[in-house]
Amino acid sequence: MTVSIARPEFEIHPQLTDPLLADLLHPERLLWTPRELAELTGTVAAELTTGLRELLRFEEEQRWWARLALTDGVELWLLSWLPGQQTKPHDHGGASGSFTVLQGELAEEYRYAGGPIRSRTHRAGDGLGFGAGRAHQVTGAGNGPAASVHAYSPPLVATREYASLADVPAEIPPLPAIIS
């Protein structure tokens, strides 16, 4: 009798050839904690710097981004920021997330549901993980271009935008699952 074990599948950006990335993805892990996401983005930013910088693009018209990897449990992105480029205030629809600054400086205003609006500056090497109850707005700060590595779990969850962080409700509900 032959037993077949299904191996989880994953996608990696075709220009990223370092085998370390595949080792970091743990495709069998279906839900990542904020701490695990922060460890992932921190390691990717620190250990895959050369490959990430070769992939980076900076565009004046809008922020640039590329998906680095996708499994059933995590989605990994590289984003670039010129000074003043920013996201709209948003949450991650019930997903946990993380980002680590690869280069430059990012300003972040954030709010946990029901809490005060706070601000923080993140510089190259800084990273954090956060749970599903956090909304934020991120802006390219400093005098030069910035780049950051982001991860979300579960992946492919739509964000919810707000006019301002003051409009974030006292509880951030998850978005409905997409059934295919």
DSSP letters spanning 54-121? HH----SSS-EEEEEEE-SS-EEEEEEE-TT-BPPSEE-TT-EEEEEEEESEEEEEEEETTS--EEEE
For 140, phi then psi, to 5°, come to: -65, 125
8 confidence band (pLDDT: 50, 70, 90)? low
Average pLDDT, the chain: 91
Token pair recorded at residue 64 = 């640039």
* Residue 3, pLDDT score: 47
* Residue 79, pLDDT score: 98
Instruction: Tell whether the model's pLDDT for residue 7 goes beyond 70.
Output: no
CA distances from 94 to 7, 68, 158, 168 (A): 27, 21, 9, 13
Mean pLDDT for 120-135 is 95
* Residue 174, pLDDT score: 66
Distance CA 54, CA 61 (A): 20
Q: What is the pLDDT of residues 41-78, one digit of tens each?
A: 999 999 999 999 999 999 999 999 999 999 999 999 99
* Residue 117, pLDDT score: 96
Q: Which residues, in sequence order, are CB contacts of 163 under 8 Å at separation 6+? A: 89
- Percent of the chain past pLDDT 90, that is, above it, reads 81
- Tell which wins on pLDDT, 37 or 7: 37
Pairing of strands 105-112, 160-161: unpaired
Backbone region of residue 88 per phi and psi (left: phi > 0; alpha: psi in -120 to 50; beta: other values): beta
Instruction: Tell whether the model's pLDDT for residue 123 goes beyond 50.
Output: yes
CA distances from 137 to 56, 111, 162 (A): 21, 9, 10
* Residue 6, pLDDT score: 47
| Beta pairing partners, 155 | none
| Beta pairing partners, 81 | 146
* Residue 177, pLDDT score: 53
CATH for the stretch 31-155: 2.60.120.10
- Tell which wins on pLDDT, 151 or 2: 151
Distance CA 132, CA 94 (A): 5
Instruction: Tell whether the model's pLDDT for residue 179 goes beyond 70.
Output: no
Token pair recorded at residue 37 = 């996401």
